[in-house]
Amino acid sequence: MATIAMDVIAGAIIGGIEKAQKDYERMSGGEWLWAAAEYVLTTYIARELDALPGAKFVTVESHGQSAITDAGATVPGPKPRKARLRGRFDMLLWWANSTPRAVIEVKNQPRGQSGWFHDIERITSVLSIGRDSTSMQFGAFAYYYSAVDGSQYSAEEKVLRKLERVKHLVSEKTAGKFRVRQFSSDIYQDRDSAWTAACLLLQPVT
């Protein structure tokens, strides 16, 4: 089977978040996804990735150190602390040969930088380990964001500004080391509120 393109993977991630929002709104009687546990997003994303045609595996809550070992990124010396290898990754996408291809971190309603940028640092730290030997090709930061109308900006404007700020900050902080691409859904509006699903792909510059 052919390798699944990275932009197709990003599309599946976004599609999973969109389905999670719509299903949660229906089953909860009108609540939006920001009020749900983060693992709801993770589960829906995993299902969409699994449904993609092509050679791959998907795992949830994989142990960090085990993933690095499976990726062949075993290099001497201490590993980056920001990789948090004693913890678990939200999700791993695997090549068909049972080696990890991508680390995926998921965030529901990211607000200030301090509440989500550590996930970016984790992804970039993981991708930096054993660059000459690792099977890890890229990382993904998937997120859902919603907003309500305010006195200064409309809900749609707030969502758009969030997309722009996340992309700009990550691109600025990783410049020269990683290629950063952001994919997002439409901005959906309902009365005074709006939401979007987004995915940042980070790939080491070679």
- Is residue 155 scored above 90 in pLDDT? yes
- The model's pLDDT over 187-198, given as tens digits with 9 standing for 90+, comes to 999 999 999 999
Q: What's the confidence (pLDDT) of residue 78?
A: 79
Mean pLDDT, range 90-95, rounded to an integer: 97
- Is residue 136 scored above 90 in pLDDT? yes
- The model's pLDDT over 164-180, given as tens digits with 9 standing for 90+, comes to 999 999 999 999 999 99
Q: What's the confidence (pLDDT) of residue 57?
A: 95
Q: What is the mean pLDDT of the chain?
A: 95
Is the pTM above the cut of 0.85? yes
Q: Report yes or no: 164 and 108 within 8 Å, Cβ to Cβ.
A: no
Q: What backbone phi and psi angles, to 5 degrees, belong to 183?
A: -120, 145
Q: What's the confidence (pLDDT) of residue 76?
A: 77
Q: What's the confidence (pLDDT) of residue 137?
A: 97
3-state secondary structure 116-180: CHHHHHHHHHHHHCCCCCCCCCEEEEEEEEEEECCCCCCHHHHHHHHHHHHHHHHHHHCCCCEEE
Mean pLDDT, range 112-134, rounded to an integer: 94
Mean pLDDT, range 9-20, rounded to an integer: 98
CA 33 – CA 120 distance, rounded (Å): 22
pLDDT tier, 1 (very low <50, low <70, confident <90, very high otherwise): low
Q: What's the confidence (pLDDT) of residue 124?
A: 97
Cα R_g (the chain), whole angstroms: 17
Helix ranges (H only) for 28-107 are 38-51, 64-70
Q: Report yes or no: 2 and 55 within 8 Å, Cβ to Cβ.
A: yes
- Is residue 32 scored above 90 in pLDDT? yes
Mean pLDDT, range 92-104, rounded to an integer: 96
Q: Report yes or no: 167 and 196 within 8 Å, Cβ to Cβ.
A: no
Q: How many Å separate Cα 24 from the centre of its chain?
A: 20
CA 22 – CA 45 distance, rounded (Å): 13
pLDDT tier, 204 (very low <50, low <70, confident <90, very high otherwise): very high
Q: What's the confidence (pLDDT) of residue 77?
A: 76
CA 128 – CA 30 distance, rounded (Å): 42
